[in-house]
A and B are shown apart, each in its own frame.
Chain A
Amino acid sequence: MPCRRVRFPSAAAPARLPASPAPSRCRAWPLPKDDSLPDAPTPTTAEFIRLLEPLLAAAHRTALHLTHNPSDADDLVQEASYHAFRAFHTYRPGTRFAAWFFTILTHAFYGEYRKRRRRPDTRDIDDVPPLYLYERASETGLLGSDADPAAAILERLDVAHIVRALGELPEEFRVVASLFFVEDLSYEDIARMLECPVGTVRSRLHRARRLLQKSLWDVAVEAGIVPSAPIPTADPGAPAGHQE
């Protein structure tokens, strides 16, 4: 049995979305009208806000990564809140409200904000080799004997740098990177949100990890935080220390 990241009981999915006419692409759809569901007690706005308020920072953060614009991010959270309350009767109490709300937030993003994008995201992405940040840091002498080499690099970057690095990722990778690496949602939650196979989420995340590392490094070089050129070594053929 494959080991999967397990966090909390999955939230009840919002009402089933209409079938995609182009199932070959991983995409999300707006929520259907709610007429098909059985009668439920009228939800209260206070109850909804009580559940949403603790998530607001995470929702804003995710919206910012999705839209890459602070004003649009606020609009997206507001719009998602509107749709979420209208669909509140589909939320099963006791299940994970965060996963349920983030599904609606992601759907709202795909439903509206992508249409407003002035130009399509057609950036060519070269394959980034694995351990990109580690290798660059090693070449430029940043690793040394530091007890925490990752911190040695990340401490040089502020929040704005990291937001920018995430924003540089093409959308399909930025979305999964934000939901998984930042908000710690599971493969299954993300697959449900995006109506993708879990395998698609997995492969995008693996690539997103490498793209994000390159993006972090490029932002750091551009900001003058790290050197852009490798430091010459005395013995370029020195072994890396790996076992055979």
Chain B
Amino acid sequence: MPPLDRLTCQDTFARLDDYLDRALTVAEMAAVQAHLDDCLACAREYRFEQGVLDDMRAKLAHLEVAPGLLERVRAAVDRAAQDLGAG
């Protein structure tokens, strides 16, 4: 295991998925961040990866709910309440 105080590009790349998912240890997160602060190429790749997900999520937030869905949900919940009362 390479020392965390000085990660190479390869070491950082190997951790990129977990870094994006915030699934590294505190020490590893700091080590990856330190490398990204120093390496423009790796930083650009990381920003791109994160940006794709952020932009995709932002666009999908505008997906519209079909008209009438809330009413259908209310009807389903009322039916469930009736079935619970009957059962």
- Chain A interface residues toward B at CB < 8 A: 1-5, 45, 48-49, 52-53, 56-57, 60-61, 64, 70, 74, 77-79, 81-83, 85-86, 130-131, 133-134, 137, 148-151, 153-155, 157-159, 162-163, 180-182, 184, 187, 202, 205-206, 209, 213, 216, 240-244
Contacts and interface: CB of A to CB of B under 8 A. Distances in A.
Contact of B16 (A61, A130, A151, A202): A130
Contacts of A48: 77
B8 interface: yes
Interface string B22-58: 1111101100000000111110110111111111110
B52 A133 contact: yes
25 contacts: A1-B25, A3-B29, A5-B22, A49-B74, A49-B77, A52-B77, A56-B73, A61-B60, A77-B72, A79-B76, A81-B73, A82-B79, A82-B80, A86-B80, A131-B45, A131-B49, A134-B48, A149-B51, A150-B47, A154-B56, A159-B62, A163-B60, A187-B23, A241-B40, A243-B9
A242 B9 contact: yes
A155 to B, nearest CB: 8
A209 B19 CA distance: 13
B57 to A, nearest CB: 6
Nearest to B69: A74
A61 B63 CA distance: 7
Nearest to B20: A209
A3 B78 contact: no
Given A83-B80, A154-B55, 13 more contacts: A3-B23, A49-B74, A81-B80, A82-B80, A86-B83, A134-B49, A153-B52, A154-B51, A155-B55, A159-B63, A202-B21, A213-B52, A242-B42
Contacts of A180: 21
B23 A5 contact: yes
Interface of B: 8-9, 13, 16-18, 20-26, 28-29, 38-42, 44-45, 47-57, 59-63, 65-66, 69-70, 72-81, 83-84
A56 B70 contact: yes
B30 to A, nearest CB: 10
Contacts of B17: 205-206, 209
A149 B55 CA distance: 11
A83 B44 CA distance: 46
Nearest to B51: A150
B35 to A, nearest CB: 8
A4 B28 CA distance: 12
A205 to B, nearest CB: 7
Contacts of B65: 56-57, 60
A157 B59 contact: yes
Listed residue (A2, A133, A137) with the most chain B CB atoms within 10 angstroms of its CB: A2
A53 B39 contact: no
A53 B73 CA distance: 9
Contacts of A77: 69, 72-73
